[in-house]
Amino acid sequence: MEKRILLEKRGREANQIKELNLDNCRSTAIEGLTDEFTTLEKLSLINVGLTSLKNFPKLPSLKKLELSDNRISNGLNHLLTSPKLTSLNLSGNKIKDFEELKPLATLEKLETLDLFNNDVTSTENYRNNVFRLIPSLKFLDGFDKEDNEAMTDEDDEVNGNDDDSDDEGAEEEDFDEDDDDEDDDEDNVGLKDVYNDDIEEDNSDWNENENAEDDDDEDIDSEDGDETAEKVEDDAEGESESPARGKKRKHEGDEGD
């Protein structure tokens, strides 16, 4: 246990430590835990193998003590040096009767006690007797006097997280609304751009068609021009050939004569 305590201190002074976890460090008695831990508020000694609380130190600031799954049967008077103790877990030990629980009556701030899986829980009027023995007690084995279940630390955290989640949800809704507005603006801009693009494409298509028609007209004009030029050339050739032919016919006439 001493080595485990040294490891858990992590170079800190004993009076600087508020929480100490010594679970599963096998030992039958308290060793290495001293009165120097004056600011210690939470101490856990689960499944250590303790048979006694002898040498339990004076811990004036201790509020929560976990001693479940050990072999403690008596010696609870050693806890009286921790007057601020509000939560004590002794489940899974060897406590057999109320006589062994009597020292706890002196702990005026003790509100939560767990004795589950101890022989004492099988005795007659167990719950009524324990609540009567410890006037400050509010919850025994997880339930109050009216059998209402106690709220655990985890429940408190969950409830707190739920409140945070509501705030986060509201922030997310605002964020989503902003995104929707941005999306609408983007959609409007997108439609406008698409519309303008369509107009430009139509204009470009119209211009291309118009240019194509102009090209066709130019081709037709050029073809007409070519035909006209050919006709002129043919006429010119006809005129140039006429005198020669006339002369030839005249020559042939002369020969006949």
* Chosen domain end from 94, 115, 150: 150
What is residue 150's predicted lDDT score, i.e. its pLDDT? 84
Give the mean pLDDT of 15-35.
95
What is residue 151's predicted lDDT score, i.e. its pLDDT? 79
132 plus 39 within the same structural domain: yes
pLDDT band at 244 (very low <50, low <70, confident <90, very high): very low
127 plus 57 within the same structural domain: yes
In a domain, 156, yes or no: no
Q: Answer yes or no: is pLDDT of 232 > 50.
A: no
33 plus 102 within the same structural domain: yes
* Chosen domain end from 82, 115, 150: 150
What is residue 227's predicted lDDT score, i.e. its pLDDT? 53
Kindly report, residue by residue over 154-201, the tens digit of the pLDDT.
555 555 554 444 554 444 455 455 555 555 555 554 544 544 555 455
CB-based burial label for 22 (10 Å; 0-12, 13-18, 19+): buried
206 plus 120 within the same structural domain: no
In a domain, 162, yes or no: no
**Which DSSP helix (H) or strand (E) runs through 230?**
helix 153-256
CA angle 110, 75, 37 (to 5 degrees): 65
119 plus 201 within the same structural domain: no
In a domain, 132, yes or no: yes
Q: Answer yes or no: is pLDDT of 243 > 50.
A: no
In a domain, 167, yes or no: no
Kindly report, residue by residue over 212-227, the tens digit of the pLDDT.
455 554 454 444 545 5
Number of domains in the chain: 2
pTM given for the model: 0.61
What is residue 238's predicted lDDT score, i.e. its pLDDT? 45
Kindly report, residue by residue over 109-135, the tens digit of the pLDDT.
999 999 999 999 999 999 999 999 999
Kindly report, residue by residue over 42-101, the tens digit of the pLDDT.
999 999 999 999 999 999 999 999 999 999 999 999 999 999 999 999 999 999 999 999
84 plus 129 within the same structural domain: yes
40 plus 122 within the same structural domain: yes
**For residues 56 and 162, what is the distance between their CA atoms, to the nearest angstrom?**
40
What is residue 214's predicted lDDT score, i.e. its pLDDT? 52
132 plus 214 within the same structural domain: no
What is residue 153's predicted lDDT score, i.e. its pLDDT? 60
Look up the CATH number of the domain holding residue 123. Answer: 3.80.10.10
246 plus 186 within the same structural domain: yes
Enclosing domain of residue 23: 2-150
47 plus 95 within the same structural domain: yes
199 plus 129 within the same structural domain: no
What is residue 213's predicted lDDT score, i.e. its pLDDT? 52
Render the burial of 71-81: b for 16+ CB within 10 Å, e for the rest: ebebbbebbee
The single residue listed with the structure tokens 């048979």 is 51
In a domain, 166, yes or no: no
In a domain, 100, yes or no: yes
Q: Answer yes or no: is pLDDT of 241 > 50.
A: no
* Chosen domain end from 115, 150, 185: 150
In a domain, 169, yes or no: no
Lowest mean pLDDT, pick from 15-24, 61-70, 142-151, 154-163: 154-163
DSSP single-letter state for residue 146: T
In a domain, 223, yes or no: yes
126 plus 215 within the same structural domain: no
List C-alpha distances in Å: 181 to 186, 191, 193, 217.
9, 15, 18, 53
